[in-house]
């Protein structure tokens, strides 16, 4: 069955171009200005299970639109918020393992909430193009369901939060488009790409579908409309962890190890790992409140990887997942961050800016460095980093991350490794650069620190030689003020939830 799964997932990508929508008549019915469809619940095929913290795995009670007694029978809490979880395409026709994990995490964070799981498994287990087309009818079901809750028991729109994964993200968007009032929030967890990359906003998740729409993009590798996750931004805030293309720990080696230890049933993880990481990043934000990841607005992942986008001014940074600040700017905000491969996923981001001097005219590419950080709270030694190029009299900025909370940074060590055991250039002596100072900015605290050579005016970075050591010189005058303002902002004191 595992091999069948992987082939069906591959076929999904290639069939996506053939994905067809329902007839014009159906679309006109769903998107017409009449309200007759809102009060007719006879055509709803999706099921709405109110799961509990005690039994997050099981559908023990269904709320049925049009049957008010089911609201009471399922013990729906009218006084608290409601999460509506919408799954995506499935090969097996069964819920995937992440569903109860997300349900349990939502209850862990909000114990009194209502967590409703939308069951559209029968439609979601068809050939991908068919299931993709069904998102319009399922969105129609969900839209009628939340409209009924408001009409029947006057449930407040501001307490609704829809969470959709893959095709489920577009279901949530269509539902939001069809509701009488705007839903408070929709979270898109790696919205599906094939068949949707170039689709209109009425067929996909979009910023107009809720008061606030946030999106995590985790598997956008490949050409547009062929990548598993949608590449273009479709929310108010679109976050691309690790560039959005591929996630740490999802390489073939790790997947094959998983298959070896737990069987071929996990073979589909070769495709699903990065796609499903969006869900686990959101779960992480629920259960690890004290270790919330930060994302930073940037024009491209290339600029972010140079450390050029670690500013938090004017809402240029934000929390990832559940605790995100609702910023509805006039234009979409694309944001980036690095993560590690396991939960908690949080890492700390540093921009390192350094100028390389040399008496000789030197030029290298793809050079391996080891950087060690020492601070008031901890240390992280030998962080590997590949310098794209090293030229004489050149200033280079790069991004460095660590999963250890260093605290206030006090000392930095840098070592230049040889890129091979034998090099012809070694016959003409050691190659070295002089470095006068390092300028380092910490993304999480916004602190800016200058580091000087520990001994003498320069530190020497020698290929294959000893470490160059730098110690804290002075903080820039604005750094402490920025750090204090940043702490207030992240705690909610100064954060403005409106447009810039």
Q: Which active-site residues does the annotation give?
A: 166, 190, 275
Residues 334/233, Cβ–Cβ less than 8 Å: yes
Tokens of 68: 């008010």
Alpha-carbon distance 40 to 20, whole Å? 26
Q: Which residues are annotated as a binding site?
A: 201, 209
Residues 372/381, Cβ–Cβ less than 8 Å: yes
Minimal CA–CA distance to 294: which of 314, 319, 277, 315? 319
Residues 298/307, Cβ–Cβ less than 8 Å: no
CA-to-CA separations, 266 to 5, 253, 366, 409, in angstroms, rounded: 9, 13, 36, 42
Residues 30/140, Cβ–Cβ less than 8 Å: yes
Minimal CA–CA distance to 335: which of 358, 352, 347, 318? 318
Sheet holding 437-442, edge to edge: 379-391, 363-375, 409-416, 468-475, 448-453, 437-442, 348-356, 394-402
Tokens of 433: 């650069």
- Radius of gyration of the chain from its Cα atoms, rounded to whole angstroms: 26
Minimal CA–CA distance to 113: which of 122, 129, 121, 102? 102
Q: Where do runs of H (alpha helix) occur along 154-268?
A: 167-178, 252-262
Sheet holding 47-51, edge to edge: 47-51, 114-119, 82-86, 160-165, 183-189, 210-216, 237-241, 333-337, 294-297, 317-319
Q: Which residues are annotated as a binding site for Ca(2+)?
A: 201, 209
């Amino acid at each position: 069955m595992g091999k069948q799964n992987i082939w069906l997932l591959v076929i999904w990508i290639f069939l996506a171009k053939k994905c067809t929508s329902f007839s014009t008549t159906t679309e006109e019915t769903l998107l017409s200005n009449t309200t007759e469809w809102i009060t007719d619940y006879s055509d709803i095929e999706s099921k709405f299970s109110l799961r509990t913290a005690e039994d997050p795995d099981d559908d023990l009670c269904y709320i049925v639109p049009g049957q008010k007694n089911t609201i009471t029978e399922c013990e729906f809490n009218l006084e608290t918020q409601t999460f509506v979880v919408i799954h995506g395409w499935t090969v097996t026709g069964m819920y995937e393992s992440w569903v109860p994990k997300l349900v349990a995490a939502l209850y862990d964070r909000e114990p009194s909430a209502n967590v409703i799981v939308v069951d559209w498994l029968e439609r979601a287990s068809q050939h991908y193009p068919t299931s993709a087309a069904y998102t319009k009818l399922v969105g129609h079901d969900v839209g009628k369901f939340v409209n009924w809750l408001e009409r029947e028991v006057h449930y407040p729109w501001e307490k609704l939060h829809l969470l959709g994964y893959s095709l489920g993200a577009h279901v949530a968007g269509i539902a939001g488009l069809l509701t009488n009032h705007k839903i408070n929030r929709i979270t898109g967890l790696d919205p599906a790409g094939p068949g949707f990359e170039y689709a209109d906003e009425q067929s996909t998740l979009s910023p107009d579908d809720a008061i606030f729409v946030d999106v995590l993009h985790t598997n956008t590798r490949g050409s547009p409309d062929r990548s598993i996750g949608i590449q273009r931004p479709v929310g108010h805030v679109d976050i691309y962890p690790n560039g959005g293309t591929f996630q740490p720990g999802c390489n073939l080696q790790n997947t094959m190890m998983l298959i070896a230890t737990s069987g071929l049933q996990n073979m589909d993880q070769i495709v699903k790992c990065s796609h499903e990481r969006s869900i686990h990043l959101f779960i992480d934000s629920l259960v690890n409140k004290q270790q919330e990841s930060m994302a930073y607005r940037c024009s491209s992942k290339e600029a972010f990887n140079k450390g050029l986008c670690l500013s938090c001014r004017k809402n240029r940074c934000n929390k990832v997942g559940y605790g995100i600040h609702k910023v509805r700017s006039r234009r979409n905000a694309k944001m980036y961050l690095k993560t590690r491969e396991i939960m908690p996923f949080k890492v700390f981001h540093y921009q390192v800016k350094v100028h390389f001097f040399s008496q000789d005219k030197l030029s290298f590419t793809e050079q391996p460095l080891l950087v060690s950080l020492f601070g008031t709270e901890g240390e992280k030694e030998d962080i590997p980093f590949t310098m794209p190029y090293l030229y004489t009299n050149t200033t280079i900025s790069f991004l460095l991350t660590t999963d250890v909370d260093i605290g206030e940074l006090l000392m930095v060590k840098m070592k230049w490794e040889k890129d091979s055991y034998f090099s012809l250039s070694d016959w003409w002596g050691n190659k070295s650069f002089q470095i006068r100072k390092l300028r380092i900015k910490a993304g999480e605290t916004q602190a800016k620190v200058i580091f000087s050579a520990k001994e003498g005016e320069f530190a020497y970075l020698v290929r294959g030689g000893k470490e160059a050591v730098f110690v804290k010189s002075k903080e820039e005058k604005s750094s402490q003020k920025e750090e204090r303002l940043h702490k207030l902002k992240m705690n909610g004191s100064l954060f403005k939830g409106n447009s810039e």
